């Protein structure tokens, strides 16, 4: 009989490998057995065992010779999102805010040190980064991310930055920690953040956190659109007041149904 620790280690490796295959299929939008084995550096027999098991569990489907992620992931993620008090409270308010402003509105939460998009209310006349639901973003370069960071202590912010770094996606991305901390202090004072093309060129957004207590946030909401329309004057006079009003409504709804 083998050592239990070794068995556990082999089991964990197997799970990690299966999820690596799932991640690969997601990025590749499907692949054949040989393509998956070659790209992942696996023996064909090993890749076949994992793919067959994933098909049997329903998380991967096989169309002819091509393996793809199934909609089981959509059901799993969608059910989790739909059950969240943040999503339930924010969705109708964001739909109304989108109609009111003519710009995209979003709600995000933090998971594993990233901002995750839960819902976007879109206006065909506006633009943003075209991110998909469930996409993950670095916190330091989005309006929602910076709004959530501003709810945290400097110690917690430092832990997140140490783990994920501050990569630049555009020439406007903040990559200096001191500059970021100064901006977080400003966000705490005025109640909202601004992303000026820091995540996607030509796109501006303002965000505010949905607070849940000291040193924490349930998530954040934002308004995003072209920089030509999200001007400083419009932010001060129209967008920030409208966003902060929705923040108060969403937080009240969550407390009432908590």
Q: What is the pLDDT along the chain (258 residues), one digit of tens a residue?
A: 344 344 455 568 889 999 999 999 998 999 999 999 999 999 999 999 999 999 999 999 999 999 999 988 888 888 888 889 999 999 999 999 999 999 999 999 999 999 999 999 988 887 776 677 778 899 999 999 999 999 999 999 999 999 999 999 999 999 999 999 999 999 999 999 999 999 999 999 999 999 877 777 899 999 999 999 999 999 999 999 999 999 999 999 998 876
Domain with 108 in it: 81-256
Instruction: Quote the number of domains for the chain.
Output: 2
Torsion sign, CA atoms 178, 179, 185, 187: negative
Q: What CA–CA distances, in Å, run from 130 to 27, 193, 225?
A: 17, 20, 11
Residue 183 lies in a domain: yes
Per-residue pLDDT reduced to its tens digit, 239-248: 999 999 999 9
CATH number assigned to the domain comprising residue 49: 1.10.10.10
Is there a single domain that holds both residue 39 and residue 61? yes
Q: Are 220 and 105 contained in the same domain?
A: yes
Same structural domain, 176 and 61 = no
Last residue of a domain, one of 44, 70, 96: 70
CATH of the domain at 189: 3.30.450.40
Residue 117 falls inside a structural domain: yes
Q: Are residues 104 and 35 in the same domain?
A: no
- On whether both 89 and 37 belong to a single domain, the answer is no
Q: pTM score > 0.85 for this model?
A: no
Nearest to 145 by CA among 95, 97, 111: 111
Sign of dihedral through CA atoms 227, 235, 160, 135? negative
122 domain-assigned: yes
Q: How far is CA 143 from the centre of its chain?
A: 12
Rounded CA separation 117/222 (Å): 11
């Amino acid at each position: 009989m083998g050592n239990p620790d070794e068995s556990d280690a082999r089991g964990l490796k197997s799970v990690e490998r299966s999820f690596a295959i799932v991640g690969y299929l997601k990025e590749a939008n499907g692949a054949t057995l040989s393509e998956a084995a070659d790209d992942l550096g696996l023996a064909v027999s090993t890749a076949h065992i994992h793919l067959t098991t994933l098909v049997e569990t329903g998380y991967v489907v096989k169309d002819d010779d091509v393996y793809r992620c199934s909609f089981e992931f959509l059901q799993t993620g969608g059910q989790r999102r739909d059950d969240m008090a943040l999503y339930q409270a924010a969705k109708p308010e964001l739909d109304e805010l989108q109609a009111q402003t003519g710009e995209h509105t979003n709600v995000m939460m933090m998971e594993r040190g990233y901002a995750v998009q839960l819902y976007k209310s879109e206006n065909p006349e506006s633009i943003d980064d075209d991110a998909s639901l469930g996409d993950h973003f670095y916190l330091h370069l989005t309006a929602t991310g910076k709004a959530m960071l501003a709810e945290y202590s400097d110690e917690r912010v430092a832990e997140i930055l140490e783990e994920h770094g501050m990569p630049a996606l555009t020439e406007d991305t903040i990559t200096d920690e001191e500059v970021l901390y100064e901006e977080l202090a400003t966000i705490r004072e005025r109640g909202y953040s601004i992303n000026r093309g820091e995540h996607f060129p030509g796109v501006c957004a303002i965000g505010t956190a949905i607070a849940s207590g000291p040193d924490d946030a349930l998530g954040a909401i934002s308004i995003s659109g072209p920089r030509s329309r999200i001007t400083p004057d419009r932010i001060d006079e129209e967008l920030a007041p409208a966003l902060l009003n929705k923040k108060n409504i969403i937080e009240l709804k969550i407390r009432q149904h908590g």
